[in-house]
Homo-oligomer: A and B are copies of this chain.
Amino acid sequence: MRISLAKEDLWRQFNEFTNEMIITKNGRNLFPCLEFKVEDLSPFEFYTFTLQIDRIDSNRHKFQGGEWSSNGPGEPCGPSRVVWHPSGVKSGADWMKRDVCFDRIKLTNNVGVTDPNHIVLHSMHKYAPTLSVYQYSTCDPNFEGLATPVFQRTFGSAAFVAVTAYQNNNVKNLKVEKNKYARGFRNERKRSSSSPETPENSAKMMPQNPEEALQMQQPWCTFPYPPSVIPGYNYPYYGYGC
């Protein structure tokens, strides 16, 4: 089983500035989208994919003088919400047909939300996504018990600070440049998005060396909930609305 973050080059560009993700009351998409390239599953075994977004340190952070630094102790970590991939239980052959994409996930700071695709985060705290893969030799719904993932990894190259407004103009410019929905802001000024505004605000969170980066792919605290395929219990509702 080989699983890697898709659009890794784009993620790396954001990560070099320390990535930021907007959180709003009604929920905001991640950009880039969380998407994974999946290879070498067993074609006739069955799998489910879940994603959670874990805190990667214990601090609150601030952006000052062009760089991120600690701003005292952070909020306590609660359990991370586990989001099932909407496709539910599928064969390995089916999963490998295309990248596994969690593009319905939205980030929010509204603790009251009920939408299972919304993930509540604390602003000015650091996070990274964790992908878990569970395997079943059948999709028999009578399956009981708690599964242990056959694969689990936290992707440090997709780490970010949750914010309610962009702090680093380099990150903002790169979002405007790469996200098609922000096209309306591209030619407002002669943008210098590829050249950092201040030289010192790059590469604060992740080491440039990919080998070192791999060492960092561990969340600071996690409370994973193993998925169950018992219908109605923690079952993914990504309905096909009507």
Contacts and interface: CB of A to CB of B under 8 A. Distances in A.
Nearest to A88: B88
Interface stretch (A60-68, A137-145, A205-213): A137-145
B242 A33 contact: yes
Q: How many copies does the complex hold?
A: 2
Contacts of A33: 242
A94 B239 CA distance: 10
Contacts of A18: none
A242 B103 contact: yes
A219 interface: no
A87, A90, A239, A240 — most chain B CB neighbours (10 Å): A240
A204 interface: no
Contacts of A139: 89, 139-141
Interface of A: 33, 35, 44, 46, 85-91, 93-94, 98-101, 103, 138-142, 231-232, 235, 238-242
